[in-house]
Structure formats: C-alpha cells, structure tokens
Structure 1
Amino acid sequence: MITQGMFAYLPPLTDEEIAEQVSWAMDHGWPLSLEHTDDPHPRNTYWSMWDLPMFDVGDPTAVLTEVRRAREAFPDHYVRVNAYDARLGRQTTAMSFLVHRPAVEAAYRLVRSEGADRRIAYTVERVR
C-alpha cells in the first residue's frame, strides 16, 4: 500500500471524514485543490491538477463533489486533497492526504547497491 500524506497508515477515509478534514482546512483559511496521478512514486512530485484550485469555496460539500468527480474520471489513479497556507508569502502545503486509491495499487521495492569505500546507495524500483 502506498503511504503518502497525512493519514497514510489509517484505513481509507470515508466521505464524512474527508468533509471534516476539508472543513478544518477551510476554518484555517487554507484554499484547497485536488490532484491525481497513476504514478505514485515518492519522487513524483508533479501530480496533475484536477480543475482549478478552490480559493473561493467555503462549503465542504463542493469539495466532496469534486472529489467524487475526480474518482469517477480517474478510477485507476490516486487522488489527493491539498490545502495551502499562504501566511509565509509563498505556497506552502499545510495538509495533503489521499482520498482515492486504484483497485490495484502499484508496488515498489528498495534496491541496495554497494560501491567503493563502503558506499551504499538505495534506489526505488516499481514492481510490475
């Protein structure tokens, strides 16, 4: 199982639990966005944005509607919610968590290689 973002080691969140987290982010004034990808490799930081960021949305129901639309459009992708805190004058991800996983998840393994002078390097490989 891919473990990225907050709540990664918990069971999948229900729509009600997602709404609570979205509401909490909105209470802090954090705009939200949705992203999706079929490649959840830890170094893949460039997920595709779903629609535009929701700067003016004040109702968690609207965000849940977009979550449902993204799930339907990309059933074989991972979908996540991001909340941004702009208090520091830059886009800072304050919260990020998965709201959808594909039925069959990608698997990865850690490969260790040893080099000169006892150097050890690790790479992450996708298992097909």
Structure 2
Amino acid sequence: MSEMQDYQSSLGDPSSRKFETFSYLPAMSADQIRKQVEYIVRKGWNPAIEHTEPENAFDHYWYMWKLPMFGETNIDTILAEAEACHKAHPNNHVRLIGFDNYAQSKGAEMVVFRGKAV
C-alpha cells in the first residue's frame, strides 16, 4: 500500500488552499484545460465562468462572469470567455463550471486561473 501524502494547505495561507480535485494535481496545461471543456460540452452541460479574490474563495460566493453560456458548444468561445474574465480580473481565481441541467447541479468545476494571494 502506498503512503498517503499530506498536502500542506491552510486557511491562513491563501496561496496554499485547495479548491477541488484538480487543485491537488499539477497545474493543467492549456491543452488539458481544453480537453476538460470538450468533456463538459460532450456531456451536454452548460458552461459558466466564476471568479473571486483568493482571500474570499472559501467564505464568500464567487462572482458570476456574465451569464451561464446556455447551449454553447464552441470550445474556443468558452475558453475565450475564461481568458476574458482572467484579463478583466488578473488577481482573482477564475473557475470553469459545467452545469448539469438534468441533475440540476454542477457536473464539473475547476479553477483554470489562480489569482495572486495578497
């Protein structure tokens, strides 16, 4: 049996915080993020972009970037919106969400840009 790894994460250190499954892995490349967007589209989920300040990521709601992209299937459009959000809010975390309208829940959620902790 392999040993469990302890991830050094602390509420007092915003730069160490983990947000979801992918945050425990090395940062995703642009190609890997693109594949996740393709998966969201393939599943028929509605993409949405959210952002927040790193220090507020755990105890505040995240701000929605525009409206969810209901029915959007163009991967480049979705990625362009994530990039536009990051450009408009360079110090914020930006996450991509895939809403599953049948289960009425998030089917996927991942931080695609990490902001700088203050």
TM-score by length of 2: 0.79
SS in structure 2 at match of 1:82: strand
Mark the structure with the bigger radius of gyration: 1
Aligned equivalent of 2:52: 37
Gaps of 5+ in 2: 1-15
What is the CA-CA distance between 1:105 and the residue it aligns to? 2.4
Shift of 1:14: 1.8
More strand by share: 1
Q: Secondary structure at the match of 1:36?
A: strand
Where structure 1 has 5 or more consecutive residues not aligned to the other structure, the ranges are 107-128
2-structure distance, mates of 1:94, 1:43: 22
What is the number of residues matched between the two proteins? 102
- Which amino acid in 2 is paired with 1:105? A
* Residue 29 of structure 1: how far off its partner (Å): 0.5
Deviation at residue 93 of structure 1 after TM alignment: 0.8
Question: Which has more helix, going by share of residues?
Answer: 2
Alpha-carbon deviation of 1:61?
Answer: 0.8
Cα distance in 2 between the residues matched to 1:47 and 1:9: 20
User: Aligned-pair distance for 1:83?
Assistant: 0.6
Partner residue of 1:93 out of 106, 112, 116: 106
Matched, 1:5 2:20: yes
Q: Tell me which amino acid in the other structure corresponds to 1:84.
A: F
Q: In the alignment, is residue 28 of structure 1 matched against residue 43 of structure 2? A: yes
Structure 1 counterpart SS, 2:22: coil
CA offsets 1:40-95 (integer angstroms, 9 cap, x no match): 44232x1000011011211111111011111111111000001111213xx30111
1:105 matched to 2:85? The reply is: no
- State the TM-score, normalized to the length of structure 1: 0.73
Aligned-residue sequence identity (percent) comes to 29
Give 3-state SS (helix, strand or coil) of 1:67's partner. Answer: helix
Structure 1 stretches of 4+ moved >4 Å: none
CA change 1:6–1:54 in 2 (3 A) is farther
CA RMSD of aligned residues (A): 1.4
C-alpha distance in 2, partners of 1:41/1:74? Answer: 14
